[in-house]
Each structure stands twice: as C-alpha cells, then as structure tokens.
C-alpha cells in the first residue's frame, strides 16, 4: 500500500498529518528516510516514526443493510449519507464496495482494503451480485435469453456480460450480474422496454444480507476469505 495510507492505518494521524511527517523526513523505511508519500510499502517492512515501529491495524470488512433514500457516498447530498449509520471509529477510512443508487436497498459492503474491493467489483473476478427486481411490466419470455447473451446499454458499445435471470412472479425476478456499470440493472431492463420499480441487492458472492434495515455487522474472517478467495 502507499506509505501515507500505511501511516494512517498504523497511527492516529490523518492523511494530511501523515504526509506532513513523511515530507519532514520523519519516516524511515528499512533504514532509509522516505519523503515520497506515494512510495509503495509492505506491512512486513520495518517502518518507524520517531524511532517507534509502526504496525498497521488489521483491515476491516462490514456488511450493511442500506435503506432507501440514503447515499452510497461519504458526504450528504439530496439524501443523507449511509455513513451516518456507521457508529464505528474512523469510519472515514472505509469505502463502499460497489455503490447502490439512492433508491436501491440491500447489501452494501464496506472496507479499507482496496485489493479486496477491487477483486469484488472487477468483472474479471466473476463475483456474482444478486438483485431482487420488481418490474412495471410482466417479464417477456425472451428476456432471460437476451440477458444471457448480453445487452447493449444505451450509449455504450460493449455488450453486458452474461447475466442470469430467474423469474419469481411475472413482475418479480432475481437477476445475477458480475459487472457494476452505472445504473446497470435499471438500464438493462430499459433496454428491453421494461422499467424497474424497485431494486434490492440481496447477495454478493457467498455473502447474503442478514442484518435488519439500516444496521451493519463485521464480516467474519471466513466470510472475507470466502468472498472470491480474497484477501
Ligand atoms: N443497478 C442499478 O441500476 N442500480 C443499482 O443501485 C445497482 C445496480
């Protein structure tokens, strides 16, 4: 990870304060003064500040049940940020793994581990995201096959990757996708002439949402490992 991030993860310093001590030449990495905050370091490196070895706090992994009318953002906008519900130390260090729209409900993952979130969100990882979708119009018989073949979203050249559609009722479906393009589910149904009325993410890979609306919990080490074999 970057040196400034490492300093934040191993001290109580903010990112700005971490950069100040780095620029001041107070950080020594494996015996050498390092003044570039972007230097890549490993947790096994011997990194000291004022002669004391710094040890990074372990990464954190959470699931939250996002209510409708909240924003997957660190700051408030038209709606309040999801972060208001996170009664946890240093919540600002966490980021959301694959945002949901303000009106979408369901499973949101949060972490400070960039590698883990990259793995979950990157389409090449093949990490499944399962959405329960309520539709305005009944599902047409060809939609599952079209979604499986790939859909051309408005304004995009590249087809969507194969998606699986399971009908629950004529107007309720479970859709499994591996990508996370902007408004992807809503745009997929728009592309076949339908409209999403409500959207709820209930699963990411092996992780099924199991906390009440608005609440959160830490993931277990097994859950973190099982999520696409990372970290
Ligand atoms: N697809 C959407 O259209 N919206 C979301 O919030 C998530 C996936």
Positions annotated as catalytic residues are 101
DSSP-derived 3-state class of residue 153: coil
- For residue 228, the model assigns a pLDDT of 57
Question: Would you tell me how many other CB atoms lie within 10 Å of the CB of residue 23?
Answer: 12
Q: Tokens for 182?
A: 């902007």
> What angle is formed at CA 145 by the lines to CA 141 and CA 150, rounded to 5 degrees?
135
Question: Would you tell me how many other CB atoms lie within 10 Å of the CB of residue 55?
Answer: 12
All domains in the chain, ordered by first residue: 3-53 (3.10.290.10), 61-223 (3.30.2350.10)
Pocket test for ligand 1, best of 123, 131, 176 (most atoms within 8 A of CB): 131
Cα separation, 178 vs 160, in Å, equals: 9
Provide the residue-wise pLDDT of the chain in tens; the chain has 231 residues: 899 999 999 999 988 999 999 999 999 999 999 999 999 999 889 999 999 999 999 999 999 999 999 999 988 889 999 999 999 988 988 999 999 999 999 999 999 998 899 999 999 999 999 999 999 999 999 999 999 999 999 999 999 999 999 999 999 999 999 999 999 999 999 999 999 999 999 999 999 999 999 999 999 999 999 885 544
- For residue 231, the model assigns a pLDDT of 45
Pocket test for ligand 1, best of 183, 189, 190, 196 (most atoms within 8 A of CB): 183
Ligand 1 atom 2 nearest Cα: 183
Q: Which atom of ligand 1 is nearest to the CA of 196?
A: 3
Q: How far is the CA of 185 from the centre of ligand 1 (A)?
A: 5
- For residue 43, the model assigns a pLDDT of 84
Cα separation, 141 vs 155, in Å, equals: 25
């Amino acid at each position: 990870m970057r040196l400034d991030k490492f300093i934040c993860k191993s001290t109580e310093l903010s990112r700005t304060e971490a950069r100040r001590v780095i620029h001041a030449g107070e950080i020594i990495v494996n015996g050498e003064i390092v003044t570039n905050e972007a230097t890549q370091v490993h947790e096994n490196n011997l990194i000291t500040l004022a002669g004391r070895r710094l040890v990074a706090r372990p990464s954190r992994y959470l699931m939250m049940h996002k209510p409708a009318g909240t924003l997957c953002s660190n700051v408030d906008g038209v709606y309040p940020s999801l972060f208001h519900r996170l009664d946890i130390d240093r919540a600002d260090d966490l980021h959301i793994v694959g945002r949901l729209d303000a009106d979408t409900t369901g499973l949101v993952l949060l972490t400070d581990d960039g590698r883990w979130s990259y793995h979950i969100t990157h389409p090449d990882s093949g990490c499944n995201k399962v959405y329960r979708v309520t539709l305005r119009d009944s599902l047409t018989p060809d939609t599952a096959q079209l979604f499986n073949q790939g859909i051309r979203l408005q304004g995009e050249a590249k087809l969507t990757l194969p998606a699986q559609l399971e009908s629950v009722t004529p107007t309720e479906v479970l859709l499994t996708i591996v990508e996370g393009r902007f408004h992807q589910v809503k745009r997929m149904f728009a592309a076949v002439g339908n409209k999403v009325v409500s959207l709820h993410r209930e699963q990411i890979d092996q992780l099924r949402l199991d906390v009440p609306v608005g609440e959160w919990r830490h993931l277990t080490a097994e859950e973190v490992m099982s999520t696409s074999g990372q970290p």
